[in-house]
Amino acid sequence: MKRAVDLLLGITGTLVIGPLLLGLATLIFVSAGWPVFYRQERVGRGGRRFKIWKFRTMVRNAEKQGLPLTVGNDPRITFVGRWIRKTKLDELPQLLNVVVGEMSLVGPRPEVPNYVAKYNDYQRQVLQLTPGITDPASIRFFQENELLSEAASPEETYLREIMPEKIRLNLEYARQADLRSDLGVILKTFKRMVA
């Protein structure tokens, strides 16, 4: 049932927001050039790796210029990218990942391989779940960028405090999740995006 809903809403959503996606792609191209999309390797269900789709919000080759995390006023973020990231619109192309079955609308955010490699046995349970565009942890840590900007060591803070809490929240949610609760998470996410 969840896959059917993902497929239906993924295709419908892509068609409905098609003009917005085109507008954002044009804005990125005019302000920062080609490419307008950014693909990064993430770890999905069962430890399977896949490439996530995002609008490019950083300078070209940003991954070679710093951490996988972005913190505060990261100089790699473009002017237009700053606004797109703040509203989380950079995540919308992941509807393509949903349509092809690599992701769900609601599920734990997929992590980069080098951070997954640091999971303990409890944390690895999250790999039994299909990753998603949004989840309860994404709502709670909506301003994660700002939280990390206040840390003396952002990557250490992420790995020791934020990532474990995200996993805990997602495993807890997964135990009682159903279609109704998933729709609630989607609505709460939209509220945060427009707040």
> Is pLDDT above 70 for 67?
no
Give the distance, in angstroms, between the CA of residue 132 and the centroid of all CA atoms in the same chain: 8
Q: Given a cut of 90, is residue 73 above it in pLDDT?
A: no
Residues 29-42: what's their mean pLDDT? 92
- Quick one: pLDDT at residue 160? 94
Tell me the whole-structure pTM to 2 decimals: 0.87
Average pLDDT over residues 102-130: 96
Per-residue pLDDT band for 60 (boundaries 50, 70, 90) equals confident
Where residue 58 falls among pLDDT bands split at 50, 70, 90? confident
Region for 47 from its dihedrals, namely left if φ exceeds 0, alpha if ψ lies in -120 to 50, beta otherwise: left
Q: How many domains does the chain fold into?
A: 1
pLDDT, mean over the chain? 91
Q: Which has more pLDDT, 69 or 4?
A: 4
Q: Residues for the chain: how many in total?
A: 195
Report residue 64 as tokens: 């070679």
Q: Name the residue range of residue 60's domain.
A: 2-194
- Provide mean pLDDT across the span 77-82: 88
Average pLDDT over residues 116-126: 97
pLDDT of residue 64 exceeding 80: no
pLDDT for the residue numbered 129? 96
By three-state DSSP, how is residue 53 classified?
A: strand
Share of the chain above pLDDT 70, in %: 96
Measured distance CA(189)–CA(142) in Å, rounded:
9
**pLDDT tens digits, residue range 129-172?**
999 999 999 999 988 888 888 888 989 999 999 999 999 999 99
CB 96 within 8 A of CB 4: no
Q: Which of 11-20, 26-35, 48-57, 59-68 has the lowest mean pLDDT?
A: 59-68
pLDDT for 46 equals 96
